A and B are shown apart, each in its own frame.
Chain A
Amino acid sequence: MTDTISEEVTEEQRPLGVYTRPKGGNGWRDWITTVDHKKIGILYGAAALFFFIIGGIEALLIRLQLATPNGTVLGADMYNQVFTMHGVTMIFLAAMPLAAAFANYLIPLQIGARDVAFPRLNAMSFWVFLAGGIFINLSWLLGGAPDGGWFGYAPNTGVIFSPSVGMDFYAIGLQITGIASLVSAINLTVTVLNMRAPGMTLFKMPVLTWMLFVVQLLLVFAMPVIAVALFLLMFSRQFGANFFNTEMGADPLLWQHLFWIFGHPEVYILVLPSFGIISEVIPTFSRKPIFGYDFMVFSGIAIGFMGWGVWAHHMFVSGIGPLSVAAFSLSTMFIAVPTGVKILNWIATMWGGRVKFSSPMLFSVGVISMFTIGGLSGVTHALSPADTQQTDTYYIVAHFHYVIFGGIIFGLFAGLYFWWPKVFGHMLDEKMGKINFWVMLVGFNMTFGPMHVLGLQGMSRRIDTYSPGFGFEAWNMVATIGSFIIALSVLIFLINVVTSVKKARGKPPCGPDPWDARSLEWMTPNPTPEHNFDEIPTVESLDEFWHRKWGTDDEGQIVRVATAEEVCQKGTATGVHLPSPSYWPLIFAIGLPLLGLGLIFNLWLTLPGGILIVTALYAWIFEPVDDPDGPHGDHHEVNEEISEGASDV
C-alpha cells in the first residue's frame, strides 16, 4: 500500500486523463499554472508584501487621524473600517502568508525534497489565499469594509450594529483564506513527515523546519475552530440564526471563546516562523551551532501545545468568573517559560561566538530585544488585576505590536535579507539593509513605545478621536511621526530591492554560499534550480551543510575541509522528473469569491462560482497526474531553455 494514486499512472490508465495539462513555458502563463513550491513561495511573498503595504497605508491613516486631538482625517465610521481592515490585513493577509512563503520555499529544501507532497494543492492554497485577500478588500468598493474590529466581537458584528456588508465580507473572506491555510497545513505536514532525505530524522531537521512544522500542526487544529465561528457569524447575518441574539437567551461570549480558542494558537502560528528564522540566522552569524537544539525544539512544541490552554486571558473582563480568570492567569504565566527558554538559547548561541552583525543578524537581534519587551508587557496582562486596568487601552495595542511587529515582522525581514540570495541569486545591499534596520527600529519604538504610556494614562483603543487636555497630545504626535519613520524604512527596503535587482542584472549569480550557512538548502546553487537537488543528499548530522565544509583537526581546532563550491551541487542534473503544471488550482480559486459575492448580493452569482469549483475539482481529479508523452517538467527541456537565454526566475 505504499503506492499513492499519483504513482499508479501507467500507460494503460492514462486515458483517465481527459484533459491535457499545460506545458508550462515562460512568462505569466508559467506563473499562473506553476506547481513548483519555490515559485509558489515567491508568489506568497510578493502577495504578502503587497498586502503588507496596503495594511501599512491603513496604519498611517489611523495615525494621521490620531495625531492631533479632534482629528478629522477620517470620520468615525471610516475609522472603524480602517482599523478593522488594518488588523485583518496585517494578520491574515500579510504576516501569515509571508510565513507561508518561507514555509513553501524552505521546508522542501531544508529536508532535502524536490517538492511538497501535493504540488497542485500547494498552488491551490496560494490562489485561494489570494482570492480571499482580494475578496475581503473588494468590500471597500462594494458597500463598505468590515467595521467590527479584526476579532469581530458579537453582537457588534450583527446586522443591527454593523448594517453594511462589511462583516459579510469579513466572515466569508476569512473563511476562504482559512481554506487556503488548512489545505496548505495538511500538505506541509505530510511533506515534513513523508519526504525527508535519507538520514534526515526528525531531530536532524533545522529549527526553522521544526518551528514551521509545529505551525502547520497548529493550523490543522486551529483553523476548523475559526471556521465554525465564522460560519456562525455568517449564518447569523445571512439567514437570521440566533447564535448571538441575547434577546432569545443566546450568549455573545460564544463568539469570543471560539475566536480566541483559535486566536491564541494563531499568535503562535504567527510568531513561531519568525522564531525559526532567527534560529537559523543567529547560529550562522555567531559561527556556533544553535545552543540547546533539543530545548529549542521542545520549547517550540511546548509553546504550540500550551497555546491551547490560555485563550481566555483575552477575556478577563468579560465576566467569565473568578475561577476561570485564576486558572487562565496561571496557565498564561506558565507559557512564558518556554518562550524564555528560547530567548536564553538565542543569547547563549551568540555568547562567545564570533558575531557578525550583518543585516539579517541585526533584524534577528531586533527580534530578541523587541519581543522580550512585548513578552514582558504580556506577563503583566497575565496578572488579571493589572489586566483589568489595561484592557481595551493603548497599553494592549503597544503590547501586541511589540509581539507582532517586534517579534514577527523583524524576524520576517531577517529572513528576507538572509534567503534573498538563495531565492533570487543576488544579494540585497548590506549597507542599505543596515540602514533599513536602524530606521525601522527607531520608527517602531517611537510608534509603539509611547502607546504604553498612553494606555496607562487611560487612552482607550479603537476610539476614533480624543479631546485635548488629557495629556494624550504629545505621545500621539510622537507615535504618528514614528509610524512615518516605519513607512520610510519599508520604502528603503523596496528601494534596496529595486536597486539590487538592477545591479545584479546581466551579472552571474552570486556564489553558492554567501553567508557560510549551515543547513541543507544552501547545498543547491543560487538561485535554486527548478529540480532543487541534483542528487538527494544523505544526511548525517544536524547542520549537515556546515559539517561538510568544516571539520576538526588533531588539536580539536575547527578547520575547513572543503570549500562551499566543492560541497554545493552544480544544479546541472538532467532528466529529473517534476510534477506538471495545472490550470485547475487557479480556476478553483476563482470560483470561491464568486460564491461569496453570490451569498452577499445575489444568489444567482453562486451559480457560475459553483460551476467553476465543481468543474475544477473534477477536471483536477481526471487530469493526468503526469503526461508521460509530454516533455514538460523534464529537466532536459528546462536546461535547454536556460541555455537559450530564457530569463526565468
Chain B
Amino acid sequence: MDTSETTTDVKEEDEHHEHPSDGKYMQIALVLAIITAAEVATYFVHIGDALIPTLMVMMVVKFWIVAAWFMHLRFDSKMFTRFFVAGIVLAISVYFIFLTVFEFWTEG
C-alpha cells in the first residue's frame, strides 16, 4: 500500500495483452494433469512418512499454477495479487491458530 500505486501504470496495461498462446495453456494443463496423476498415485503406492509433505507440495504447486497462469496473476497488476494473498495468508494464519487452540495437530 505505498503511494506509488496511485500512478497509472500504463506499461502494465500493455503487457496485459501478451497472454500465453493456446498451446502454452495446453502445456500448463498437461503439467497440472501429470501432478494430479502423481497425487492420485499416492493413494495406491505406499510412500510412508513423506506422504503428507509430498501431497501438500503438489497441492501448493497446482494452486500456484492455476492462480499465476489461468488467473493471470503473473501478468496482471500486483494489486490483485495483494488482495488474494492477503485473504490466503489471513485465512491460513487465523485458522492455523484456531486448529492449534483445538489441539488438532497434536491429537494424532
Give chain A's interface residues, CB within 8 Å of chain B: 1-2, 193, 196, 200-203, 221, 251, 253, 257, 261, 308-309, 312, 320-321, 324
Contact = CB atoms under 8 A, between A and B. Distances in A.
Nearest to B91: A221
A312 B101 contact: yes
Contacts of A312: 101
Contacts of B102: 251, 253, 257
A235 B90 CA distance: 26
Contacts of A193: 5, 79
A536 to B, nearest CB: 15
B90 A196 contact: no
B16 interface: yes
Nearest to B3: A201
Given A257-B101, A321-B101, A221 B86 contact: yes
B45 interface: no
Nearest to B77: A1
Contact of B87 (A1, A200, A221, A253): A221
Interface in B1-51: 1-3, 5-6, 13, 16-17
Contacts of B66: none
Interface string B62-79: 000000000000000001
A261 B100 CA distance: 14
A131 B93 CA distance: 34
Given A2-B13, A308-B94, A196 B101 contact: no
A308 B97 CA distance: 11
B86 to A, nearest CB: 7
Contacts of B101: 257, 312, 320-321, 324
A202 B98 contact: no
A313 to B, nearest CB: 12
Contacts of A196: 6
Nearest to A199: B6
A450 B74 CA distance: 59
A203 B3 contact: yes
B5 A202 contact: yes
30 contacts: A1-B13, A1-B16, A1-B17, A2-B13, A193-B5, A193-B79, A196-B6, A200-B6, A201-B3, A201-B6, A202-B2, A202-B5, A202-B6, A221-B87, A221-B90, A253-B102, A257-B98, A257-B101, A257-B102, A261-B94, A308-B90, A308-B93, A308-B94, A309-B97, A312-B101, A320-B101, A321-B101, A321-B103, A324-B100, A324-B101
A389 B12 CA distance: 58
Contacts of A309: 97
A146 to B, nearest CB: 25
Interface majority SS (helix, strand, loop, mixed), chain A = helix
A324 B97 CA distance: 9
Contacts of B87: 221
Contacts of A251: 102
Interface residues of B, number: 20
A202 B79 CA distance: 14
A612 B86 CA distance: 35
Contacts of B2: 202
B87 to A, nearest CB: 7
A620 to B, nearest CB: 24
A2 B100 CA distance: 44
A193 B2 CA distance: 12
Given A193-B79, A221-B86, A221-B87, A261 B98 contact: yes
A201 B2 CA distance: 9
Max chain A CB contacts within 10 Å: which of B90, B100, B102? Answer: B102
Nearest to B100: A324
A543 B101 CA distance: 46
Contacts of B13: 1-2
Nearest to A198: B6
B8 to A, nearest CB: 8
Contacts of A320: 101
Contacts of B6: 196, 200-202
B3 A202 contact: yes
Contacts of A321: 101, 103
Contacts of B1: 202
Contacts of A201: 3, 6
B100 to A, nearest CB: 8
B41 to A, nearest CB: 33
Contacts of A261: 94, 98
Contacts of A203: 3
A44 to B, nearest CB: 25
Nearest to A196: B6
Given A253-B102, A324-B100, 4 more contacts: A1-B16, A193-B5, A308-B93, A308-B94
A309 B90 CA distance: 10
Nearest to A309: B97
10 cross-chain pairs, A with B, having the tightest CB-CB distances, nearest first: A201-B3, A201-B6, A324-B101, A320-B101, A1-B16, A257-B98, A203-B3, A221-B90, A202-B3, A261-B94
A226 to B, nearest CB: 13
Nearest to B4: A201
Nearest to A315: B101
A170 to B, nearest CB: 23
Contacts of B94: 261, 308
A321 B100 CA distance: 11
Contacts of B17: 1
A320 B3 CA distance: 42
A94 B45 CA distance: 59
Contacts of B93: 308
Contacts of A324: 100-101
A537 to B, nearest CB: 15
A324 B100 CA distance: 9
A309 B102 CA distance: 16
B77 to A, nearest CB: 10
B25 to A, nearest CB: 19
Contacts of A308: 90, 93-94
Contacts of A221: 86-87, 90
A312 B2 CA distance: 32
Contacts of A253: 102
A196 B3 CA distance: 12
Most A CB atoms within 10 A — which of B1, B97, B102? Answer: B97
B12 to A, nearest CB: 10
A426 to B, nearest CB: 36
Contacts of A202: 1-3, 5-6
